[in-house]
Amino acid sequence: MFAYPASMGTRGKPGIGAPGTGAGSRSRPAGVITRGTTNANRLRRVDRWLTGVHGRLLRTAADPLVVDVGYGASPVTTVELSRRLRTVRTDVAVVGFEIDPERVAAALPYAGNGLTFARGGFEVPLPAGRSATAIRAFNVLRQYDEDAVPAAWARMCARLAPDGLLVEGTCDELGRRAVWLGIGSDARPRTVTFAARLAGLGRPSELAERLPKALIHRNVPGEPVHAFLTAFDRAWDLHAPLAAFGARQRWLAATATLARDWPVCDGPARRRQGEVTVAWSAVAPSGRVLTP
């Protein structure tokens, strides 16, 4: 059973602050209130990746606790996350945090079966002694300056278990296109995953508009992420004849070609889902190390 502070302070525009244990959240949550826009099944792609690629992390966790930071005006995607995680680990606990107390109050009727809601932000104010196995933070950092991103990562990662995972990314309103980062407990990105509903995808570079904040301004000539997307488009064009057999066959062929020159981390099983994951080191901003 979780026990949270009765009062989490006043509303306003708090800064992200320094990494810590989350104790400071008793005065004011870290972050700013988002627009709150969300839709049912919007985060299905990242949830599918989390349970599929990192299912072992959940199954072997001594204290399976997953956090959703900034679920928005409706808790629907947090409820869905809890249900999906329970297919991997039936005793998983899921906590949804929001800065806006009205959103927390609106979510409380959906609590139960290991799912709880509380007020909080990037500080992730878990009860003392508990750490998160995984944290999902989607569509919450795009409104910040690029320079603020590492501090937000650090604050959240400070609440992870040593082998924990932060998943931070962005998707469109219906969840048909998404890009997310897999970040270790040291607040350093490990991977970048590009995911899409393949039907209707013109070119892979269309995913650029969903790049996370750490990359969105780097999609310009001379930057690694731009080179990656350009190479992806070339591979896509190369296999245009396969479009007659469906977008999935073309995607599989294009990602296989891409893997010859880029450190692609996944195999055909994941790519059949409309995903491709590449090492962060291959697309990280040039000439800059993102550290808090």
- Whole-number pLDDT of residue 23: 39
54 vs 215: CA distance, rounded Å: 23
C-alpha Rg value of the chain to the nearest Å: 19
Q: Backbone dihedral region of 12: left (phi > 0), alpha (psi from -120 to 50 degrees) or beta?
A: left
Summarize pLDDT for 130-175 with one digit per residue, the tens: 999 999 999 999 889 999 999 999 999 999 999 999 999 999 999 9
The number of residues in the chain equals: 292
Q: Please write down the long-range contacts of 269-272, taking CB distance under 8 Å and 24 or more positions apart.
A: 270/49, 270/52, 270/53, 272/248
Please report the pLDDT score of residue 143 as a whole number: 87
- Taken in order of first residue, the domains within the chain and their CATH numbers are 11-187 (3.40.50.150), 198-280 (no CATH)
Interaxial angle between packed helices 247-258 and 224-238, expressed in degrees from 0 to 180 and rounded to the nearest 10: 130
DSSP E strands: which ranges in the chain?
65-69, 93-98, 115-119, 132-138, 160-171, 177-184, 189-196, 275-279
What does the alpha-carbon distance between residue 271 and residue 142 come to, in Å, rounded to a whole number? 26
* pLDDT by 10-residue block (mean), the chain, 292 residues: 33 39 50 64 97 98 97 95 98 96 96 96 93 98 92 98 98 97 98 98 98 97 98 99 97 98 97 98 83 56
- What pLDDT does 4 receive? 37
CB atoms within 10 A of CB 215: 27
Task: Check residue 38 and give its pLDDT.
Answer: 73
pLDDT at 123: 95
pTM of the model: 0.88
